[in-house]
Homo-oligomer: A and B are copies of this chain.
Amino acid sequence: MPNRNADDDALLALSNQLCFAVYSTALAFNGVYKPLLDGLGLTYPQYLVMLVLWERDDVPVKDIGQLLHLDSGTLTPLLKRLEAAGLVSRQRSARDERQVRITLTEAGRALRERAKAVPQGIFAACGLSTPTLLKLKDELIALRDRLDAASG
């Protein structure tokens, strides 16, 4: 039986609360993005993939997964939907036939212009000053990296 009292429990419950804060904030962000992305025909994870591709085209699935912390079981069907929507093309690499490389179509590139309005809506909804926003982002990334390290 561990030697622990009510104060310890309250303290420990904080980490539960931090996780819930992150969890519910992620859901709330989705609620703000949704109406903005609906017009583009994208979901939030699909938008993330497009952000990657707008930054660097012709990317293997694996790299997208590492950048977005998603595995191929999530990405394969998502990318097929983007392909079906005519935004990307998927083709086996000639050099390494195990890889599938993702390339933007003309429509995919064109979507970037329409997507430029999205961040403004998000920024406004956050209601944070730029330094506060920057600090919060950095703290979360640091936390995330520790969590990833802890779970392998």
Contacts and interface: CB of A to CB of B under 8 A. Distances in A.
A147 B31 contact: yes
B136 A18 contact: yes
A79 B113 CA distance: 43
Contacts of A110: none
Chain multiplicity (copies): 2
How many A residues are at the interface, by size bracket?
Answer: 35 or more
Contact residues of A: prevailing secondary structure: helix
B133 A28 contact: no
A17 B137 contact: yes
Given A26-B26, A136-B139, A146-B126, A33 B19 contact: yes
Interface of A: 9, 11-29, 31-35, 44, 48, 51, 68-70, 116, 118-120, 122-128, 130, 132-134, 136-137, 139-141, 143-144, 146-148, 150-151
19 contacts: A9-B119, A12-B119, A14-B123, A16-B118, A16-B119, A16-B122, A18-B128, A18-B136, A23-B26, A25-B140, A28-B143, A28-B144, A29-B147, A35-B151, A124-B150, A125-B147, A126-B147, A136-B136, A136-B139
